[in-house]
Amino acid sequence: MDYVRLGSTGLKVSRICLGMMSYGDPSWRAWVQGEDVADPIVREAVEAGVTFFDTADMYSVGVSEEITGRLLGKYFTNRDAYVLATKVFWPMGHGPNDAGLSRKHVTAALDASLRRLGTDHVDLYQIHRFDPQTPVEETMEALHDAVRAGKVRYLGASSMYAWQFATMQHVAREHGWTPFVSMQNHYNLAYREEEREMLPFCRATGVGVVPWSPLARGLLTRPRPADAAAARDVTVRAGSDAVADSMYTEADHAVVDAVEQVALARGVPMAQVGLAWLLSRPGVTAPIVGATKERHLTDALGALEVRLTDDEVAALEAPYVPHPVLGH
């Protein structure tokens, strides 16, 4: 396993981050797996040297955090041996203050996350989206106070416009508050709009990038199906993921074909090619990989050994078609 600094911080994380959204309560999403499925996958990740784990309070409405806390406690004897990340923003109840980035919700949500995770601190606390209804100053001061209280070590953000992220960073530095050190954004071979502004901004300011959906929610892991009906038969998630349906279209099939061709020529799974491309992008720290089968993790770990040639990169990037902004 390779370990790299998260942005310009001194914090080192594994080059692959295991995303824990896939583990929780199937009633939340049909493709979510229980703790019995998560256990051997987390064990394999730990044995392979993965030390970076990402979840969020809204995943299975807290159940993912509970499973994450139990399994990391089971396979690590030292709390400082791993980097634990979670998030705040999306609704966790039906009340008017059960969502967003107000001081009230951030404070309550963090305490609730810590209880579910079974720890006294989160290494990386991330805002899950930008909150246009809360003053930036209120959010950044509340997050800074969490750091000062010892409940949070570092702060991160997730998908938003670059100008929004820049504004939040400016407010933090203007007041002497803790800035964000990472950006968890939507970035993969089938969605590269982040290359326009967010990624250059992160590189210029020393912010680490930990992309979500690095394989386009499975789109880049299997050959293009012959028809729509065949696509629905591939996996439970492929047949029930409305988010993916809204993000990726037939225009992305040429990218899938390019990944397939490079994978066939190399004799490796398509997932390894898609992840190897992402790992080679400037500024990318660690893709967040979801795994509902052990082979998913095996493929992700294998991507660390794949070094694409310039010609392969050109072939993979050539079919890309610009998209409207997605995932914010």
User: Residue 304 is part of which domain span?
Assistant: 3-216+271-309
Whether residue 221 lies inside any domain: the answer is no
CA dihedral (76, 78, 81, 84) positive or negative: positive
Using alpha carbons, select from 184, 207, 178, 280 the residue that is nearest to residue 7: 207
pLDDT tens track for 258-283: 999 999 999 999 999 999 999 999 99
Number of domains in the chain: 1
Question: Hunting for tokens 């800074």 — which residue is that?
Answer: 144
Whether residue 249 lies inside any domain: the answer is no
pLDDT tens track for 67-121: 999 999 999 999 999 999 999 999 999 999 999 999 999 999 999 999 999 999 9
* Token code pair at residue 199: 């990624």
* 59 catalytic per annotation: yes
Catalytic pick from 59, 187, 248, 320? 59
pLDDT for 236: 56
Using alpha carbons, select from 223, 221, 108, 126 the residue that is nearest to residue 181: 126
Whether residue 105 lies inside any domain: the answer is yes
* Token code pair at residue 160: 């938003």
Whether residue 253 lies inside any domain: the answer is no
- Provide the total of helices (H) and of strands (E) in the chain, helices listed first: 13, 10
Which helix (H) or strand (E) element contains residue 286? none
Q: CATH code at 118?
A: 3.20.20.100
Burial profile 18-34: b = 16 or more Cβ within 10 angstroms, e = fewer:
bbbbbbbbeebbebbbe
Whether residue 257 lies inside any domain: the answer is no
Whether residue 326 lies inside any domain: the answer is no
Whether residue 237 lies inside any domain: the answer is no
pLDDT tens track for 120-149: 999 999 999 999 999 999 999 999 999 999
Residue 269 DSSP label: -
pLDDT tens track for 196-245: 999 999 999 999 999 999 999 999 999 987 654 444 445 555 554 566 66
* Token code pair at residue 278: 């992402």
CA dihedral (97, 99, 102, 105) positive or negative: positive
Q: Is the pLDDT reported for residue 58 higher than 90? A: yes
Whether residue 150 lies inside any domain: the answer is yes
Rounded CA separation 221/219 (Å): 6
pLDDT tens track for 12-49: 999 999 999 999 999 999 999 999 999 999 999 999 99
pLDDT for 309: 98
